[in-house]
Amino acid sequence: MTIERFIQLWTHRYHKYTHIFKAHIKGRQARTHFSSVKRSLKKGQELIAIIRTEHFGDIVAAEPISRYVREQHPNAHIVWFAKPAFAELVAHNPNVDEVFREFCVTERRVLLEGNVFDKVIELQFRNNNHCPKCQVFTENPVALKRDITVHNYFDYGNLLEVFAQTGDLIPPKSAFPADDQPRLYLQPAHKEKVDRLNLPEKYIVLHCRSNYEPKDWPADRWNRLVHWLSEEYDYQLVEIGLESNLTIQTPAYRNLCGQLSILETAEVIRRASFFIGLDSGPSHLGNATGTFGIILMGALNNFLNYNPYSGKYGRQENALLVRQAGLPCSQLSFEFVRDQVKAVLEKSADNAPKVLS
């Protein structure tokens, strides 16, 4: 073994075991905290944990569960577990009393081993219960019993229905029994931030790049779509997301990628005339804010025809799912997508094409 390899190995081990030690300490501190919370509750008042830590689209999709659990347990102290990056999505939810900003899966395991909570509602299965630094997985026994995995979960319904089943809230392969429209709880600060962007009254929001390449549509086709929209319609075109891979030369286009928080992004989407994007987190923001969505989708892994959405997007009352049987999103032609977008935009008199002089 070379000295360089020796240093790399022990540097890795140092970071790994430091992380694990920190996770155990934080887990015990959390156990102490929630033990104190439980002692402060009134007699008969339950302490309930809801665990959906990632990704942000999944947390938005699962929001109706917070209302459903509150209806079932009106007096409970409800704690939602989320990774710190996504905590803002539940921090203002009136059905949640407290947000636990989870450090890692090991911290959660140490916390739950104390049996502090009266009820634990696990909205995840194995692939979401993994810490790459600790190199451990935890299992959800309900998901194991019902055989819900990352390879088959869309066989059980939309995301909301899948999560409710993994949480043992509804029977296997059944519909969600309450209001299934996701909601967001935007605050004045989010609106004030977007006010300062000086967006036009009439614009379309675009989300062109997901965090999972098989869901994406090629950048060159997005470029063509943006230029076509700018030439044919009187809209500003505003791209949101973490990072853009487009090369746009039209003044009608504005790039806001990487400049906004999740809920600030939601406020930008809420004000838009339309949302055009992928099956990714921002499309769930579109569903929750009520903006009409044009969602580019396709076959995904072994799911040839799936629908992740509940509510109005799921019923296609406020959305069009753009796809062709058996094709992945990457194989949707520009012409097919353009014609689908055109059909939506021209349904309203306000969206007629530009009158060219």
Q: HEC string of 148-178?
A: CCCCCHHHHCCHHHHHHHHCCCCCCCCCCCC
CA-CA-CA-CA torsion sign (152, 158, 163, 169): negative
Confidence tier at 136 by pLDDT (50, 70, 90): confident
Instruction: Tell me what the mean pLDDT of segment 14-41 comes to.
Output: 95
CA 154 to the chain's CA centroid: 16
Confidence of residue 137 (pLDDT cuts 50, 70, 90): confident
Please state the pTM of the whole predicted model. 0.94
Residues of the chain with CATH 3.40.50.2000: 189-351
**Contact status, residue 149 vs residue 129, Cβ threshold 8 Å:** no
- Which value, to the nearest 10 degrees, does the dihedral of the CA atoms of residues 173, 177, 179, 180 take? 0
Are the beta carbons of 276 and 206 closer than 8 angstroms?
yes
Tell me what pLDDT residue 357 has.
Answer: 28
Residue by residue, DSSP assigns 22-61 as HHHHHHHHHHHHHHHHHHHSPTT--EEEEE--S-HHHHHH
Question: Is the distance from CB of 292 to CB of 298 less than 8 angstroms?
Answer: no
Taking the C-alpha atoms of residue 296 and residue 283, their distance in angstroms, rounded to an integer, is 10
- Residue 298 and residue 332: Cα distance in Å, rounded? 8
pLDDT in tens, 39-67: 999 999 999 999 999 999 999 999 999 99
For the domain spanning 3-166, the CATH number is 3.40.50
353: tokens are 């094409």
CA distance 18 to 190: 37
For 194-221, what is each residue's pLDDT tens digit?
999 999 999 999 999 998 888 999 999 9
Q: Which CATH number fits domain 189-351: 3.20.20.210, 3.30.300.160, 3.40.50.2000, 3.40.50.920?
A: 3.40.50.2000
The H or E element spanning position 311 is: helix 311-314
Q: How high is the mean pLDDT of the chain?
A: 94
